[in-house]
Structure 1
Amino acid sequence: MTDIADLENRLSAAMDRIATGLNQLGDAPAAASGDQSGDQSEEIAALKAALEEERTANAQLEARVKALTAAAEARASGDTDGEVAAVTGAHQQEIEAIRDAAAEERAAWAGLNQRLVRLRRSNKLMRSNTLALRQAAADMVVDPELINNSLQVELDAAIAAQELERAEADVIIKTLMPMVKTGTEGA
């Protein structure tokens, strides 16, 4: 554990030095020469790369510290292999439940998308039939087939809109169901 604390301290000190160097570069007046400007930009790029490497190393060390701390606490509390296996099994079941919920949600979204496409197609047909009806009315022509066709398209559009609303409700239910299950299990 002392090695990890020592590494954390060294990383923090290195990150502070890098931040100080970047601040000094930002405060320094711009050099008149193009070579100096190029050197500074290279140095800044190198410092930024070093900072990113230090951040990555720090994140890895923090994860390692958490894992070691959890392992130490498990040893201190006297966890046995059976208890660890039970916890692992419970986590596997939870992961499977999350995957199942995600699959149901994806299926609900796919259904919603299909209904939306159908509604758009129906609306497009309804617009073209409306134009045809207007033209027939302007020409003073009564076309019973055009009227029947228009009514059928309107009915299809109403059905598609209703199916879309059902699909939206299904998506909402599938999205909220895992949260509701988690909330009731926590209570």
Structure 2
Amino acid sequence: MSDIIELQRRIMAAMDRVASGLGELSGTGGGDAAAQQALDEEKVVTAQLTERIRMLSQRHESDLAKLREATEGTQAQLTKLDTDLQRLRKANKELSQSNQALRDANAAGVAEPHLINKAMMAELEALRAAHAAEISEANTIIAAMTPLLEQAAEADTAEASKVKEGDA
């Protein structure tokens, strides 16, 4: 971003120099070849700087779009993970309540088969929720690591190419 600001500053300075050069040309009648050459050079510099700003802006927009895409993907993964963790908390709460009911029934000396079934179902749901949360967590980690691994692979490939060119 500071490159763009610096380039804009340089373009503005070049345009000021062009304007002052035009003023001088109009004041001297426009016959000065050195002034015309300076004007032409400034036009070239201005065109080059304008092109660099355009390229930097395009690169910036491209990088920004990639960043947004990555952020959206990560946000979706985190939302899935949050949903699975909430499911896990709910299942664990139900399991805890079922186990408390079983302990109370056992303390009262009353055998309650439906409490045993309810506790087993709560335990199964807790296991399923834990498994789903672990998968979501692993997917979130994979999604975060994939771009880093791709960058490392690209860097290794570039380094290997340089080494290969050095051997040749």
Pick the aligned partner of 1:170 from 121, 139, 160.
139
- Segment of structure 1 superposing worse, 86-95 or 144-153: 86-95
CA deviation string 1:154-177 (max 9, x = no partner): 000000000110111111122222
Q: Distance in 2 between matches of 1:98 and 1:181?
A: 15
Is 1:142 paired with 2:111? yes
Which TM-score applies when normalising by structure 1?
Answer: 0.54
Give 2:6's aligned residue. 67
Q: Which has the larger radius of gyration?
A: 2
Structure 1's 144 and 128: CA in aligned 2 closer, same or farther, altered over 3 A? same
Q: Distance in 2 between matches of 1:178 and 1:165?
A: 21
Is 1:182 paired with 2:121? no
Give 2:72's aligned residue. 103
Please report the RMSD computed on the Cα atoms of aligned residues, expressed in angstroms. 2.9
Q: Distance in 2 between matches of 1:92 and 1:135?
A: 64
CA deviation string 1:17-73 (max 9, x = no partner): xxxxxxxxxxxxxxxxxxxxxxxxxxxxxxxxxxxxxxxxxxxxxx59x7159958x
Report runs of 4+ in structure 1 exceeding 6 Å deviation: none
Structure 2: state its 5+ residue gaps. Answer: 12-43, 159-168
Deviation at 1:178, TM superposition (A): 2.7
Q: Distance in 2 between matches of 1:70 and 1:85?
A: 14
Q: Distance in 2 between matches of 1:181 and 1:97?
A: 14
Q: Distance in 2 between matches of 1:100 and 1:89?
A: 17
Structure 1: state its 5+ residue gaps. Answer: 1-62
Identical-residue share of aligned pairs (%): 29
Matches within 5 A, 1:57-136: 67-68=6-7, 79=48, 84-136=53-105
